[in-house]
């Protein structure tokens, strides 16, 4: 069961993160499987088997959002491939309303930390994904989809 595997990976990542130094030795496998299993659940199952019907769906999305927001710039992750994958997963995560709302539900201190990391100098990070994430978050009024059309494109006075 893919959903079960996703939840096991999330628990393992959270446990490794709580231990601190142990996180650096956690195999990248857990991060990769968490990202890929979420993608599989979202993209490869029919509308009949909706993710929203899974038990604990909202909590699982929020926990995965917290992992992506915290670890895309984590110095304990040294592999460039997994760092790029985390950045791409976060960029994909903010594109869809359900997962974007999960990002909105993570604790405020984690959101602020994520924004600081996104705005930090582009040393070892792909700038295209960073800009994509920032644009998606700043569209409208902060997080979320506030406008159906961008305000600067609307006519200001009637004709």
Say which residue the tokens 């499987």 belong to. 33
In degrees and rounded to multiples of 5, residue 126 shows phi and psi of -70, 120
**What does the pLDDT read at residue 153?**
63
**What does the pLDDT read at residue 66?**
94
pTM of the model: 0.79
What is the rounded average pLDDT for all residues in the chain? 81
Rounded to whole angstroms, the Cα distance separating 66 from 102 reads 8
Rounded to whole angstroms, the Cα distance separating 60 from 74 reads 21
**Is it the case that residue 9 has pLDDT exceeding 90?**
yes
**What does the pLDDT read at residue 141?**
43
Rounded to whole angstroms, the Cα distance separating 110 from 116 reads 10
**What does the pLDDT read at residue 150?**
58
In percent, the amount of the chain with pLDDT more than 90 equals 23
Task: Kindly report, residue by residue over 72-113, the tens digit of the pLDDT.
Answer: 888 888 888 888 888 889 888 888 888 888 888 999 999 889
Rounded to whole angstroms, the Cα distance separating 31 from 27 reads 8
Rounded to whole angstroms, the Cα distance separating 15 from 112 reads 22
**Is it the case that residue 37 has pLDDT exceeding 50?**
yes
The residue-averaged pLDDT of 147-156 equals 60
**What does the pLDDT read at residue 159?**
47
The residue-averaged pLDDT of 13-27 equals 83
**Is it the case that residue 32 has pLDDT exceeding 60?**
yes
Rounded to whole angstroms, the Cα distance separating 119 from 131 reads 9
């Amino acid at each position: 069961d893919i959903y079960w595997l996703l939840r096991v990976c999330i628990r393992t990542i959270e446990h490794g993160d709580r231990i601190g130094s142990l996180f650096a030795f956690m195999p990248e496998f857990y991060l990769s499987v968490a990202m890929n299993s979420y993608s599989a659940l979202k993209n490869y199952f029919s509308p009949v088997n909706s993710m929203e019907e899974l038990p604990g769906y909202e909590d699982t999305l929020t926990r995965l959002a917290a992992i992506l927001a915290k670890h895309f710039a984590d110095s304990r992750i040294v592999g460039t491939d997994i760092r790029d994958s985390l950045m791409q997963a976060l960029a994909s995560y903010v594109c869809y309303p359900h997962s974007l709302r999960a990002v909105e539900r993570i604790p405020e201190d984690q959101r602020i930390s994520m924004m600081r990391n996104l705005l930090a100098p582009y040393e070892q990070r792909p700038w295209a994904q960073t800009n994509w994430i920032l644009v998606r978050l700043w569209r409208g009024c902060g997080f979320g989809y506030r406008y159906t059309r961008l305000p600067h494109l609307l006519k200001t006075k009637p004709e």
